């Protein structure tokens, strides 16, 4: 596709326009149309935002009547337990585990599988899986599905520098040059993608971070002072920065009686535990491990902190606001611009700046508790139902255009 078609432009306009009927149930296969078939490719069920969103979309599409196939390289990973039984799960006879060259092997497996078991559209979630989109896009036209790839992480990062950024852009053009559509998580990312690829081929669709069943945000408990953070315990999540910021608050007396809770699991646990002890925070910092649902922890928190060095969109910011909790976040995600600045929902700070983070946390602790219902209203567009249906209509529209072009 040389640019956005009339149909896909219409989908983009409808998505951006507010609608009183945004949450009205809509069947994926209207009367007279065949049941929609959708394929998704994931490497495995690792604890990651890309994987969680892919599983959530698969479940929603299947629940609304689509024939959904999730092809995985390996069935391993904790998120496998979240997959709905209505989603067909497929995998190679010999598992493809993450290793050097494994994405190329996964791409080849996807071409073989969907070449034999045709689907109308394939969704390739996240930057990590772009080699799969490249391989699917090169399939013969007669059997090739619509290929829609997602941009889940920032396309421009200052830490890359100009040479590495140029190499990154070349790789992106090579892998995504023939995809039918790119879906980004915000308008800025769409502009970046179109600039790199040299054609208008992307559209923003909100990150489906929330379930449809709206859970009313709970008021902050009278004595609530827990500072909450969540994510995989890996260096890029910046929990070491948060621990240093909290240590600064404790030493200066600005933490009051607040405690810090970091929910999540990962290979950085031992290093972070040592840092907590070194900072003398053993009695005031807890790391309870992985939890399937962060909402109960948010309900008990006074505020949420995202200290990451880099993120995609930052689904956890959406979840925190949906629970009615203000947020301190580093400038690592487009969600800062869209959800925090000028909204009264929180504060943003530079990356790698514990002092600024400490000041922002102290400011929110000292400020009055914001209206949780107002904060939750900022993220209504991130409900899974409307987002899944927008994707499904996009798949249908592109498929209809391709069929007409091939006729």
- Tens of pLDDT, residues 341-394: 888 999 999 999 999 999 999 999 999 889 999 999 999 999 999 999 999 999
Q: Distance (Å, rounded) from C-alpha 191 to C-alpha 187?
A: 6
Percent of the chain with pLDDT over 70: 91
Architecture of the 6-208+383-406 domain: 3-Layer(aba) Sandwich (3.40)
Contact 154, 172 (CB under 8 A): no
CATH 3.40.50.11810 applies to domain 226-381: no
Residue 221 confidence (pLDDT):
74
Handedness of CA 366, 315, 46, 155 (dihedral sign): negative
Comparing 190-194, 253-257, 260-264, 337-341, the range with the smallest average pLDDT is 337-341
Domains 6-208+383-406 and 226-381 share a fold: yes
**Section 125-146 average pLDDT:** 96
Residue 33 has pLDDT above 70, yes or no: no
Q: Distance (Å, rounded) from C-alpha 342 to C-alpha 362?
A: 19
Residue 10 confidence (pLDDT):
40
pTM, rounded to two decimals: 0.82
Tens digit of each residue's pLDDT (9 = 90 or more) over 295-314: 999 999 999 999 999 888 88
Residue 13 confidence (pLDDT):
41
Contacting residues for 270 by C-beta, under 8 A, at least 6 apart:
none
Residue 223 confidence (pLDDT):
64
Residue 156 confidence (pLDDT):
86
Contact 253, 218 (CB under 8 A): no
Report the 10 Å Cβ neighbour count for 236.
Answer: 13
Q: Closest by alpha carbon to 38, among 406, 394, 407, 314?
A: 394
Comparing 29-33, 52-56, 87-91, 121-125, the range with the smallest average pLDDT is 29-33
Comparing 27-36, 69-78, 87-96, 316-325, the range with the smallest average pLDDT is 27-36
Q: Distance (Å, rounded) from C-alpha 185 to C-alpha 176?
A: 17
Residue 31 has pLDDT above 60, yes or no: no
Percent of the chain with pLDDT over 90: 75
Q: With residue 377 as reference, give the H or E element that holds it.
A: helix 372-377
List the domain boundaries for the chain.
6-208+383-406, 226-381
Task: Return the CA Rg of the chain.
Answer: 22
Residue 19 confidence (pLDDT):
33
Q: Distance (Å, rounded) from C-alpha 234 to C-alpha 124?
A: 24
Residue 28 has pLDDT above 60, yes or no: no
**Section 280-285 average pLDDT:** 95
Beta strands in 202-300 (DSSP E): 202-204, 226-230, 260-263, 285-289
Residue 91 confidence (pLDDT):
97
Comparing 11-15, 125-129, 253-257, the range with the smallest average pLDDT is 11-15
Q: What is the mean pLDDT of the chain?
A: 89
């Amino acid at each position: 596709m040389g640019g956005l078609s009339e149909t896909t432009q219409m989908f983009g306009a409808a998505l951006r326009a507010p609608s009183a009927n945004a949450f009205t149930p809509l069947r994926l296969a209207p009367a007279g149309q065949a049941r929609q078939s959708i394929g998704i490719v994931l490497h495995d069920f690792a604890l990651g935002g890309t994987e969680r969103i892919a599983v959530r979309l698969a479940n929603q599409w299947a629940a609304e009547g689509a024939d959904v196939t999730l092809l995985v390289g390996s069935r391993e990973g904790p998120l496998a337990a979240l997959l709905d039984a209505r989603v067909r799960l497929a995998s190679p006879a010999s598992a493809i585990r993450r290793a050097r060259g494994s994405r190329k092997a996964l791409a080849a497996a996807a071409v073989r599988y969907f070449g034999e078991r045709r689907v109308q559209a394939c969704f390739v979630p996240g930057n990590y899986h772009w080699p799969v989109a490249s391989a699917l896009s090169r399939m013969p036209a007669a059997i090739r599905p619509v290929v829609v790839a997602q941009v889940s992480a920032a396309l421009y990062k200052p830490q890359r520098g100009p040479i590495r950024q140029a190499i990154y852009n070349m790789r992106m053009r090579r892998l995504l040059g023939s995809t039918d559509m790119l879906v980004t998580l915000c308008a800025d990312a769409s502009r970046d993608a179109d600039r790199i690829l040299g054609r208008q081929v992307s559209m923003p669709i909100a990150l489906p971070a929330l379930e449809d069943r709206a859970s009313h945000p709970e008021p902050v408990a009278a004595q609530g002072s827990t500072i909450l953070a969540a994510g995989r315990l890996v260096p890029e999540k910046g929990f070491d920065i948060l621990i240093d910021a909290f240590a600064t608050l404790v030493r200066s007396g600005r933490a009051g009686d607040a405690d810090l809770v970091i929910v999540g699991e990962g290979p950085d646990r031992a290093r972070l535990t040592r840092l907590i002890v070194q900072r003398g925070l053993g009695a005031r910092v807890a790391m309870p491990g992985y939890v399937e649902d962060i909402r109960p922890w948010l309900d008990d928190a006074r505020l949420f902190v995202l200290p990451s060095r880099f993120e995609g969109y930052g689904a956890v910011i959406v979840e925190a606001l949906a629970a009615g909790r203000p947020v301190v976040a580093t400038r690592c995600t487009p969600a800062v611009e869209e959800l925090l600045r000028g909204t009264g929902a929180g504060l943003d700070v530079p990356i790698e700046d514990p002092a600024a983070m400490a000041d922002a946390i102290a400011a929110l602790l000292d400020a009055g508790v914001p209206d949780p219902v107002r904060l939750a209203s900022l993220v209504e567009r991130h409900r899974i139902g409307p987002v899944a249906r927008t994707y499904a209509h996009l798949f249908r529209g592109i498929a209809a255009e391709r069929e007409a072009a091939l006729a």
